[in-house]
Amino acid sequence: MSKKDLSERDICTKFITPALVKAGWDIATQIREEFPLTAGRIIVRGKMHKRAENKRADYVLFYKPNMPIAVIEAKDNNRTIADGMQQALGYAAMLEVPFVFSSNGDGFLFHNTIALDGKLEKEIALDDFPSPAQLWNEWKSHRGIDPAREEIINQDYYSGGTDKTPRYYQLLAINKTTEAIANGQNRILLVMATGTGKTFTAFQIIWRLWKSKAKKRILFLADRNILVDQTMTNDFKPFGSAMTKIQKRQTNKSYAIYLSLYQAVSGTEEEQNIYKNFSPGFFDLVIVDECHQGSAKVYGGNGNLRVTDRLCNWCREITVFRLYERLHVFNDPATAFASWIKGYLLKFYRKFGFMVPGVVPQVNSDGAIIPEASQ
């Protein structure tokens, strides 16, 4: 049978996958075929709705599990070697990876967004596909990652013995936040809508930082008991005996992972501020979840915000990142942060069919939220 008679799947099986394996890519842990990106945009017409066409990449290559580094788009041999490039570039932009390939089984067109010689694209033979180490070392050099930071960035995710892969935007949030903290940033903001897995995302960030020993004592704050209890019994369960819940205004300093209500560690009266029982250097990571007006009646004004601002002032130089769902309450620049890591914009949500936050924050060059622009 002629190569021209082969289907796109046949081209993958007979030519592309063997070329990857020959270059040193592990078919079980580093090569993901038909990798799902989105389930398709939700289109609503009256009382009816349907899904638009889903998005999936023919290949996503991972340097390590959950660390994507390259995208490959395959076409049958009746197409040119470059015919899949625009599609591949779109998928690479979603995953924010620098190495992009297209192939029709004759070879590869290699698009390198960080090429040092300025040549963005070149054709390479099937036998010349780069190894995982080649691509990682080039990307690592481009980002200025030294060995100490590399150890943190390369820390494994928690898998629990399953092959579950986080959604692609969760991968971005987890990997970029971990890298930002490894790079010394200590004020980080994540914006994620309802149902997009904020707690799971926070768990994987904490797990990797804790296991790499980059952070040793961590405080997770939420505004309702049910959120704290569900977090402990579900996503945070792997922490086991290293984890505790602060309650009844008791402070036990023998744990590594602490979960608490805002109300349990701070209040309007000085004696309620039990967070002061911990020295300012005790926690080296604080995560503030669901930070909105839920406790406004208890604390007045912006409720939780005032409590967590006091905690942040007490924490000073430690790393703090917050997971926001509803953003319309954040109209005071004093509550903003020096670092804006990842905002999922309305345009993004509408295009790909994910749920949308009511207001998308805009920040100035200092990281302060601009109230009139946050619409």
pTM: 0.79
Please list the residue range(s) of the chain that carry CATH number 3.90.1570.30.
3-143
- Domain 147-373 class in CATH: alpha beta
Maximal CA-CA distance, the chain: 82
Q: Give the closest residue to 91 by CA, choosing from 49, 44, 56, 40.
A: 56
Spell out, as residue ranges, where the chain has pLDDT lower than 70.
Answer: 249, 263-276, 290-375
Q: What DSSP string runs through 257-324? A: EEEEEHHHH--SSGGG-GGGGS-TTS-SEEEEES-SGGGHHHHSTTTHHHHHHHHHHHHTTSEEEEEE
CA distance 12 to 116: 30
CATH assignment of 3-143? 3.90.1570.30
- The CA distances from residue 9 to 32, 63, 76, 104, 176, in Å, are 14, 24, 8, 11, 33
Decide: helix, strand or coil at residue 144.
coil
State pLDDT tens for residues 13-56: 999 999 999 999 999 999 999 999 987 777 778 778 787 788 89
Read off the pLDDT of residues 188-238 as tens digits, 9 standing for 90 and up.
Answer: 877 777 778 888 999 999 999 999 999 999 988 887 888 889 999 999 999
Give the model's pLDDT for residue 214: 93
